[in-house]
Amino acid sequence: MKYERIEKAVFMERPNRFIAYAVINGKKETIHVKNTGRCAELLIPGAAIYVQKSGNPARKTKWDLIAVEKGERLINMDSQIPNQVVKEWIEKGNFAPDVTLIRPETVYGSSRFDLYVEAGERKIFIEVKGVTLEEGGVCRFPDAPSDRAVKHLEELIRARKEGYETYVFFVIQMKGVRYFTPNTDTHPAFAETLSRAAAAGVKILAYDCAVETDSIAIADPVEVVLGSPRLKEAAQPLVKWFRENKRDLPWRKRMNAYRVWISEIMLQQTRVEAVKPYYERFLKELPDVESLAEVSEERLLKLWEGLGYYSRARNLKKAAQQIMDEYGGRFPESYDAIHSLKGIGNYTAGAISSFVYNIPKPAVDGNVLRVVTRLLADPEDITKAAVKKKIEGLIEEIIPREAAGDFNQSLIELGAIVCLPNGEPKCGECPVRHLCLAFEQGTQREYPVRRKAAPRRIEERTVFVFCDSRAAAIQKRPDRGLLAGMYEFPSVKGHMSQDEAVEYGKSLGLVPVRIRSLGNAKHIFSHVEWHMTGYEILVDELEKSLPGNVIFAGRDELEEKYPMPSAFEPYLRAAGLEKRNAGGKTAPYPEQ
Ligand code: SF4
């Protein structure tokens, strides 16, 4: 769009929304301001402006305000031009190649949309919004509350439901901005309705413009941030911080999908330090998908012994088999294909896709939930799936395309080493402290908000280490349920006294030679706690006596062959059958 009869002028003042005074060619003139928005940050006394002389000599106000200089930037503020430049842009084939109709100002319901377009079978309504408000490269709309704009959005949602394609087209009337976001300061209802419109299928576009003193044309797409500009601002400082401060962890070396996958599954519910030795041992024995697909379940559980949540290990093997069968042994490289693997949910799929393939998908774990709810002072309950989904959406919108993996890892890393749980964040070391709402309010300890978990069921058990000089009795747990397929010492419900324990041994046909209390121990699973008391019962001939599925395992076999959950570790130790897991210490986290 080209303007004629443009003159440079100096802005003086704006006595009302419709007119202003300016010095043009050394003379004070009245100029017409088409843009009735506030524009307070633009129309500053002394600002260089560009005005157009009217082609109609009879007009009372001879000049129209067209553009203004703001620092280095030239901003077009002609509120009638956005519709025209979008129309020109569509006419040039930029919107669709097969446009057959462009009709301005088309009535729909009680609204009048800026453009109605037909392209092939498509029937399209486009509402155009000119944007002149810019601060630090961020453009926002509206610059003053606009109930009319909200009404237009509601009508677009309705049109969408009735089968039309619908667009809101934000024309950024300047060049070189960072992103566009709705203005929640001036009109939160507009921002809320815009998000609702996007969710309902109304497409949101933003384009900047090539602006000259006497012309304007649509130029390039501009990123739209509907969710959280605060998170958007945090992205670059977090990536920079991560690159400079990341810990040296085994799975960050020679990173590939298999290594990330194994580490991420191990790290669920288990601390980094506890995982390291397991990871090294696992990778040494099962270095690739193929070896994992072929390992026996018993060996797999042995490698996993002490990490807990044993279904994770079983799912690893199933997924490895899936990769062998469906992908010829090659780890899939798309988010959806990775997500379709057994045992892989949003978090792990996002982690593998972004860390390894730089796919901009979120990886939201407990660390990320903590960091984000603190940054945003978000009071919603993070145990709700909808809240996690919302946070995934906020992150997905702002993941830097060129640094998706480092960004996801930066949030996880910040949560792990700086934004610590239990009210102990090290805000002094935080690279996004200046953006953190909880820090600003001094409310870091109030986030994340978590609904109180239901209390765990307490189960009392008496554990028996029946042994003779060579072996101890163990049995395999059922194939389904808690600790499925693992091995355990025989046990019964309830706490028995020493005499009762002796009687129980006799009732099994054993001849107890000596009994020794092994003390009490507690093991916490996610929904149940075992409160155990244990006895070592030395018998004369173990193998001849015990019936059923009992196995007699020597110390070496306990150490090397049979996977036993760490719940029984205190009794292995107390009975002198101590075995060491890969880390040389009891895994400190609950198992299920
Ligand atoms: S300032 Fe403190 S509370 Fe906020 S994100 Fe950083 S560490 Fe967490």
- Whether residue 486 contacts residue 523, with contact meaning beta carbons closer than 8 Å, is answered with no
Best residue among 238, 376, 432 to mutate for probing ligand 1, ranked by most atoms within 8 Å of CB: 432
Q: What is the structure's pLDDT at 592?
A: 32
Strand partners, 381: 449
Number of H helices, E strands in the chain: 19, 22
Tell me which amino acid residue 133 is: L
Which two tokens mark 191?
């921002």
How many Å lie between the centroid of ligand 1 and the Cα of residue 437? 9
| 3-state secondary structure labels for all residues of 519-544 | EEEEEEECCEEEEEEEEEEEECCHHH
Q: Which of 264, 536, 569, 591 is catalytic?
A: 264
Neighbours of 437 (CB within 10 A): 16
Q: What is the structure's pLDDT at 110?
A: 80
The ligand 1 atom nearest the CA atom of 432: 6
The ligand 1 atom nearest the CA atom of 431: 6
Phi, psi of 201 (to 5 degrees): 105, 5
Q: What is the structure's pLDDT at 546?
A: 64
Q: What is the structure's pLDDT at 587?
A: 32
Which two tokens mark 10?
């100096």
The closest alpha carbon to 545, from 490, 476, 479, 498, belongs to 490
457-574 carries CATH number 3.90.79.10: yes
Boundaries of every domain in the chain: 6-76, 81-226, 231-446, 457-574
How many Å lie between the centroid of ligand 1 and the Cα of residue 260? 27
The ligand 1 atom nearest the CA atom of 370: 8
The closest alpha carbon to 486, from 563, 559, 555, belongs to 563
Residue nearest to atom 1 of ligand 1 (CA): 433
Residues across the chain: 592
Mean pLDDT by 10 residues, the chain (592 residues): 93 92 94 87 93 89 94 93 96 94 90 93 95 94 89 94 96 96 92 95 97 96 96 98 96 93 92 93 96 94 88 94 96 97 96 97 96 97 95 96 97 96 91 97 94 87 88 86 87 92 85 89 89 90 66 83 87 75 34 32
Pocket-forming residues, ligand 1, beta carbon under 6 Å: 371, 374-375, 418-419, 425, 427, 430, 432-433, 436, 438-439, 444
Q: What is the structure's pLDDT at 577?
A: 78
How many Å lie between the centroid of ligand 1 and the Cα of residue 415? 9
How many Å lie between the centroid of ligand 1 and the Cα of residue 450? 18
6-76: CATH number: 2.40.50.580
Q: What is the structure's pLDDT at 545?
A: 55
SS3 at position 195: helix
How many Å lie between the centroid of ligand 1 and the Cα of residue 487? 44
First to last CA, the chain: 67
Q: What is the structure's pLDDT at 549?
A: 74
- Asked about 264 being catalytic, the answer comes back as yes
The ligand 1 atom nearest the CA atom of 444: 3
- Whether residue 63 contacts residue 51, with contact meaning beta carbons closer than 8 Å, is answered with yes
- Whether residue 290 contacts residue 324, with contact meaning beta carbons closer than 8 Å, is answered with yes
Fold match between domain 81-226 and domain 457-574:
no
Class of 231-446 per CATH?
mainly alpha
CA angle 400–404–409, rounded 5-degree value: 120
Give the CATH architecture of domain 81-226.
Answer: 3-Layer(aba) Sandwich (3.40)
Neighbours of 312 (CB within 10 A): 17
Residues 6 or more apart in contact with residue 301 via CB below 8 angstroms: 310, 313, 485, 486, 563
Q: What is the structure's pLDDT at 525?
A: 85
**Using CA atoms, how far apart are residues 415 and 412, in angstroms rounded to an integer?**
5
Residue nearest to atom 2 of ligand 1 (CA): 427
- Whether residue 235 contacts residue 406, with contact meaning beta carbons closer than 8 Å, is answered with no
The closest alpha carbon to 90, from 60, 114, 71, 57, belongs to 114
